[in-house]
Structure 1
């Protein structure tokens, strides 16, 4: 009887030690996984998950040119170029523009590529690469009203439409505009203008001109926005984390390669494609 008790006690101790060892190993593995280098994580997963809101042609939009509804645009081309540089596949996840940073912080995506501009407020929560595009912001109005707005101060008392979460929304808010309508998609913003529900739209020049041509009846106002307010730069964004430094460096290298060698071709091709899609 005594021997049986000793054997039982010994087996219990062995099992207990085994469980502790397994538990310690799992905890260490989980800890390593949560703190491992982001670049290594992406390479191990075999994919780069890109957050994008495809309603901003020619940078991101839906296309049926290949017979099915697919995401197209400069930012898609850039995402694929970055993924290729990292040796992985690009996976695009559609998220509304104002939800992109939240998704990045929650690790639902690896990177944002959606015509996003660096701002002091965004710099608090994400890290940006070098700019791959710099454009201007313009004011769009109905045809025949090109000279209606004489100064930037006059914008304050007009009904203005902008894209929700955009740098243009921040600009008109800071300017002190009293009536701002923020909508998710640029085509919706332009439709509000065409239907006479707002007086003007503040928008990126490349995107705005393309949308005005497609919609018809809308033109650029003869109003220059002041320096500093008239430029809009676009960059890729990744989560702020000490473990993301190598990832940011690798992405930045790919961004600059794309800017030097592929950007102009991509912009032209996607501008032509977006124009055809809406004819």
Structure 2
């Protein structure tokens, strides 16, 4: 009987262990309010960081987060350095050829940031023709900037650098995700820059994993569903963006 009980205990431990894991997460921590370094605590924080932590907790897992360049995220997935990318990454057909995505967890869109004195001059993408544009490397904002006819596009490692270049008159506009721009204007805006009052190209953010890792996609999707159903997602959203 003791042997039977011992065997059952070992089996139970093995089953429990099979469900628990440490998920290696890659992010690019210069994209407030989604992921950034808190200036006071010196720790990673933001909407994305709280979402992945909530998902992992719901599924009984832990997370280990690595900060790296945005353009290194997909290669790091492909080589197994990280398991999942949570970095306000837009689900695009081009990226879907290289990685698999979870269900969308956030809907965004692109906006054009300009100096307030230039607001009447630049009203849409067509008005940016032939201008100098700034964007963050590897983002959909950078992709859109490159589609503007005869524009000279300068890409930066962080979106903060792009914002600074605009204020220094090194470019005429920055193209980037609306929530990131809104957060910047609310926290660090000085009244000299603003956005064109229109949102372009609605887009969805997803968590990316290595192609073929169906089990992890299913686990993350289940975690996302649970935090939406139990209200945790809404609490995190309200903290960073207000009620929706």
Instruction: Tell me whether the two structures share a fold, i.e. TM-score over 0.5.
Output: yes
* Runs of 5+ unmatched residues, structure 2: 1-14
Partner in structure 1 of residue 196 of structure 2: 221
Aligned residue among 235, 246, 254 for 2:223: 254
Partner in structure 2 of residue 95 of structure 1: 68
Matches within 5 A, 1:28-43: none
Q: Which one has the bigger helix percentage?
A: 1
Deviation readout 1:174-222 (Å, 9 max, x if unpaired) = 3334200111111111000011100001111111011123132210124
Q: How many residues align?
A: 224
CA RMSD of aligned residues (A): 2.2
- Larger displacement relative to structure 2 (191-200 or 81-90): 81-90
Partner in structure 2 of residue 52 of structure 1: 27
Runs of 4+ deviating beyond 6 Å: none
Deviation readout 1:99-147 (Å, 9 max, x if unpaired) = 1000010100000000000111100110111111111211101122222
Partner in structure 2 of residue 127 of structure 1: 100
Deviation readout 1:197-249 (Å, 9 max, x if unpaired) = 00001111111011123132210124x36xxx5212111011002xx212211
Structure 2 Cα separation of the partners of residues 108 and 174 of structure 1? 32
Partner in structure 2 of residue 264 of structure 1: 234
Residue 175 of structure 1: SS of its match in structure 2? coil
TM-score normalised by length of structure 1: 0.74
Matches within 5 A, 1:54-133: 54-65=29-40, 68-133=41-106
Give the direction of change, closer, same or farther, for the CA distance of 1:151–1:58 in structure 2 (3 Å limit): closer
Is 1:194 matched with 2:164? no
Greater C-alpha radius of gyration = 1
Structure 1 Cα separation of the partners of residues 66 and 207 of structure 2? 15
* Runs of 5+ unmatched residues, structure 1: 1-39, 273-279
